[in-house]
C-alpha cells in the first residue's frame, strides 16, 4: 500500500478562498449591525444590497472550498498532542465554520425569498422584509457564527503560542 503524499501547508487556492472569505465576513458583520440600526430617517437600501451581494459571494466561496477540500489534500497533520476534549472542540469548531456559513447565508436568502424578493441580483427593499422565521434564524445563527469564529481565532492563537507552526500552514510560503 502506497503512502499518501501530503503537503506541509494548505494550497494557494485554499489560502485565497480562506482569506477572501475571512475578509468578507469581517466586512459583513459590522455592515449587518450598522444597516439594522440606522436612524429612521436613513435609507439602508444600499447597505442591505451590499450585504446580500457579499453574502452570495461568501456562499460561492464556501461551496468552492467544500468541493476543493475533496480534490486537494489537506496538509500533513501536525501531531495531535492535545487532549481528546480539545480535539473534539477543534473538529466541532471546524464543522461549525462550514455549516455556519452555509446556514447563515441560507437563512438570509430564505428571508428575502419569503418576503417576495429576488436575491440575485440583490433587489432588496429593507422595508419589505417581513418578520418571518428565517429572519429570526438568520439573526440568531449570525451571532452563533460570530462565537464560532471567535473560538476558531482563539484556538489558532492558543495553539500557535503553545505549539507553533499552525498559522504558517494557512499563510503563503516564501520561495526557498
Say what the pLDDT of residue 6 is: 55
Question: What 3-state DSSP class applies to 37?
Answer: coil
Say what the pLDDT of residue 62 is: 93
Say what the pLDDT of residue 127 is: 86
CB of 115 closer than 8 Å to CB of 130: yes
Question: Cβ of 48: how many Cβ atoms within 10 Å?
Answer: 21
Cα–Cα distance measured from residue 7 to residue 73, given in angstroms and rounded to the nearest whole number:
8
CB of 15 closer than 8 Å to CB of 139: no
Say what the pLDDT of residue 176 is: 40
User: Which stretches in the chain have pLDDT values below 70?
Assistant: 1-7, 76-82, 174-176
In this structure, the dihedral spanned by the alpha carbons of residues 153, 23, 108 and 103, taken in order and rounded to 10 degrees, is -40
Task: State pTM to two decimals.
Answer: 0.84
The domain made up of 12-75+82-170 has a fold known as Fumarate Reductase Cytochrome B subunit (1.20.950)
Say what the pLDDT of residue 41 is: 92
What is the DSSP-derived secondary structure letter of residue 171?
S
Structural Rg of the chain based on CA atoms? 19
Domain layout of the chain by residue ranges? 12-75+82-170
Amino acid at each position: 500500500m502506497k503512502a499518501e503524499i501530503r503537503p506541509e501547508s494548505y494550497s494557494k487556492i485554499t489560502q485565497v478562498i480562506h482569506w477572501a472569505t475571512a475578509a468578507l465576513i469581517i466586512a459583513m458583520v459590522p455592515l449587518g449591525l450598522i444597516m439594522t440600526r440606522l436612524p429612521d430617517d436613513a435609507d439602508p437600501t444600499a447597505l442591505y444590497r451590499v450585504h446580500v451581494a457579499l453574502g452570495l459571494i461568501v456562499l460561492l466561496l464556501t461551496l468552492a472550498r467544500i468541493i476543493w477540500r475533496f480534490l486537494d489534500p489537506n496538509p500533513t497533520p501536525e501531531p495531535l498532542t492535545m487532549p481528546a476534549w480539545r480535539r473534539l472542540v477543534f473538529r466541532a469548531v471546524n464543522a461549525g465554520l462550514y455549516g455556519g456559513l452555509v446556514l447563515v447565508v441560507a437563512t438570509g436568502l430564505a428571508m428575502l425569498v419569503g418576503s417576495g424578493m429576488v436575491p440575485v441580483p440583490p433587489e432588496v427593499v429593507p422595508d419589505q422584509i417581513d418578520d418571518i422565521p428565517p429572519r429570526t434564524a438568520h439573526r440568531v445563527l449570525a451571532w452563533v457564527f460570530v462565537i464560532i469564529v471567535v473560538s476558531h481565532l482563539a484556538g489558532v492563537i492558543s495553539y500557535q503560542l503553545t505549539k507553533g507552526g499552525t498559522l504558517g500552514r494557512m499563510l503563503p510560503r516564501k520561495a526557498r
